[in-house]
Chain A
Amino acid sequence: MLRMPEPNQNTLARRKDIIAAMRDIVPATGGVIVDEDQLRPYECDGLMAYRQLPMIVVLPENTGQVAAILKYCHENKVRIVPRGAGTGLSGGALPMADAITISMMKFNRVLEIDWDNRAAVVQPGVTNLGITRAVEHKGFYYAPDPSSQIACSIGGNIAENSGGVHCLKYGLTTNNVLGVEMVTIEGEILRVGGKGLDQAGYDLLGLITGSEGLLGIVTEVTVRILRKPETARALLLGFNSSEEGGKCVAAIIAAGIIPGGLEMMDAPAIKATEDFVHAGYPLDVEALLLVELDGPQVEVDYLIDRVGKIATDCGAIYSRISENEEERLLFWSGRKNAFPAIGRISPDYMCMDGTIPRGRLAEVLTGMQELSKRHGLGVANVFHAGDGNLHPLIMFDANKAGDLEKAEAFGADILKLCVEVGGVLSGEHGIGVEKRDLMGEMFTQDDMMHQERIKMAFDEDQLLNPGKVFPTLHGCGELKTLHAKAVADKFPDIPRF
Chain B
Amino acid sequence: MAEILTPTTPEQLRDAVGWALGSRTPLEIIGSGSKRAYGHAVKTNAVLDCSKLSGILFYEPEELVISAHAGTPLADIKAALAEKNQQFHFEPGNFPELLGSGNAPDAGTIGGLVACNLAGPRRIKVGSARDHLLGFQAVSGRAEDFKSGGRVMKNVTGFDLSKLMSGSFGTLGVMHTVTLKVMPCDEQSATVIVACDDPKKAGKAMTAAMGCENEVSGAAWISAADIAGLEIPVASEFGSGLVVLRVEGPKPSVAWRAEALCKALASFGETHELADSYSHRVWQYVADARPFVETSGGASLLWRVSVPPAIGGDVCAQLQDVTGGRAMMDWAGGLIWLALDDADAMANRIREIAEMAGGQANLVRAPERVRETVPVFHPESPALARINAKIKENFDPEGILNPGRLMPGTQIAEGA
Interface of A toward B, CB cutoff 8 Å: 114-119, 139, 160-161, 163, 167-168, 171-172, 174-175, 184, 188-192, 194-207, 209-211, 227-230, 250-251, 253-258, 295-296, 298-299, 302-303, 355-359, 384, 386-389, 422-431, 435, 439, 442-444, 446-451, 453-458, 469, 479-480, 482-483, 486-497
Q: Let me know if B334 and A203 touch, CB within 8 A.
A: no
CA gap between A298 and B380 in the complex, in Å: 46
For B379, list chain A residues within 8 Å (CB).
200
CA gap between A190 and B168 in the complex, in Å: 20
Return 15 A-B CB contacts under 8 Å, by A number: A119-B308, A171-B127, A196-B309, A200-B378, A200-B381, A227-B215, A298-B253, A428-B156, A444-B147, A487-B22, A494-B7, A494-B8, A495-B5, A495-B7, A496-B5
* Residue B185 lies at the interface, judged by CB distance under 8 Å to chain A: yes
Contact of A388 among B61, B154, B358 (CB under 8 A): B154
**What distance in Å separates the Cβ of A330 from its nearest Cβ neighbour in chain B?**
25
For B145, list chain A residues within 8 Å (CB).
444, 446
A168: nearest chain-B partner, CB-CB: B153
Contact of A188 among B7, B14, B377, B383 (CB under 8 A): B383
Contact of A229 among B151, B213, B384 (CB under 8 A): B213
CA gap between A201 and B360 in the complex, in Å: 11
Q: Let me know if B5 and A206 touch, CB within 8 A.
A: no
CA gap between A130 and B377 in the complex, in Å: 37
CA gap between A211 and B387 in the complex, in Å: 15
For B94, list chain A residues within 8 Å (CB).
none
Given A203-B164, A424-B155, A426-B156, verify A482-B21 contact (CB < 8 Å): yes
Q: Let me know if B253 and A302 touch, CB within 8 A.
A: yes
For B16, list chain A residues within 8 Å (CB).
492, 494
For A256, list chain B residues within 8 Å (CB).
85, 184-187
For B61, list chain A residues within 8 Å (CB).
254
B159: nearest chain-A partner, CB-CB: A451
For B397, list chain A residues within 8 Å (CB).
480, 482
CA gap between A494 and B52 in the complex, in Å: 11
Q: Let me know if B152 and A357 touch, CB within 8 A.
A: yes
Q: Let me know if A429 and B184 touch, CB within 8 A.
A: no
For A359, list chain B residues within 8 Å (CB).
60, 62-63
Contact of B211 among A116, A454, A469 (CB under 8 A): A116
Instruction: Tell me which residues from 178 to 223 in chain B have a Cβ below 8 Å from any Cβ of chain A.
Output: 183-187, 207, 210-215
Contact of B394 among A175, A439, A480 (CB under 8 A): A480
Not counting A175-B131, A198-B360, A204-B388, a sample of 7 additional A-B residue pairs whose C-beta atoms are within 8 angstroms of each other reads A167-B154, A194-B358, A299-B249, A299-B250, A355-B150, A427-B152, A443-B147
CA gap between A291 and B102 in the complex, in Å: 47
CA gap between A298 and B247 in the complex, in Å: 14
Given A425-B157, A482-B21, A496-B6, verify A200-B150 contact (CB < 8 Å): no
Contact of B6 among A168, A296, A493, A497 (CB under 8 A): A497
Q: Let me know if A422 and B160 touch, CB within 8 A.
A: no
Q: Let me know if A428 and B154 touch, CB within 8 A.
A: yes
**What distance in Å separates the Cβ of B128 from its nearest Cβ neighbour in chain A?**
8
